[in-house]
Amino acid sequence: MSKLKRIVGLRVVTLFALLCGLLPAVARAEDPAKAKPHVVLIGISDYADKQIKPRPKAEDDAKSLYDLFTSKEYLGVDTKNVRLLLGKADEKRNSIEATHKNILDAIKWVSKDCKTDDLVVFAFFGQGCSLGERGDRTCYFASDSTLDDRAKNAVAAADIAQEFDKLKSKHVCVMLDVNFKGFDPGKKSIPEPKWSDLDGLPYKEFLGDEGGEDHNPLPGRIIFMATNGLNPSIDPRRPRVVHSRRPRRPAGRCRQGRLRA
């Protein structure tokens, strides 16, 4: 089996899980005719800053998902409701560059435009890093990000959280394939991101905040992740977190803010 077929086959499995988990709820919406999917797909294979290591298959993965989601055989999403952001332009799929500004604009578009019963899919394939002296914050590298100035030009988890907290949709799926050690620090000392310092809940930026004293995640949010670089590795025995060291494999899911291995 070719690498391409393996990639597409995996995305079909992922999409099938998504459809089984989310679309029945969307179909039961009070007015399903008005519900529409909103999709943001981000893939960056090569970075301008050569200290950030390449992810050779990242853009292919994002393109494969674009083809699947827009295909009438699957979800049939109107291309007007899809934002495809890549490191290199793809005129066929009408992509835009995955810059810091464009990624934030795409996230803000979803936050502002989607309704309660709309399906939201957000996928990121690329590199990440810690922020702060202790590694207690994280960020995701855009195509124009630099390792040294990542606090200014990378997409901070806090900026994502600000928009995902406002997201009205009750049907949200996030797909992450990110390596938080995907860079060459040179002589600089960069702390590893410590999920134990992230309120015990990694990727909380995508889960939303109900606004109560306990800051519980919002319901109806699913996360598929294949991630490296968190210290210590995510413990599958703890509620609301999953463990995955193997890239490109959905490791678990979060339904109503709870992740299960």
**Lowest-pLDDT range, 51-55, 71-75, 81-85, 94-98?**
71-75
Contact 85, 102 (CB under 8 A): yes
Is the backbone of residue 29 left (phi > 0), alpha (psi -120 to 50) or beta? beta
| Backbone φ and ψ of 100, nearest 5° | -55, -50
pLDDT tens for each residue of 138-175: 999 999 999 999 999 999 999 999 999 999 888 898 99
Under 8 Å between Cβ of 129 and 190: yes
Per-residue model confidence as pLDDT tens digits over 100-109: 999 999 999 9
3-state SS assignment for residue 192: coil
Q: Which CATH architecture has domain 3-25+36-260?
A: 3-Layer(aba) Sandwich (3.40)
Confidence of residue 2 (pLDDT cuts 50, 70, 90): very low
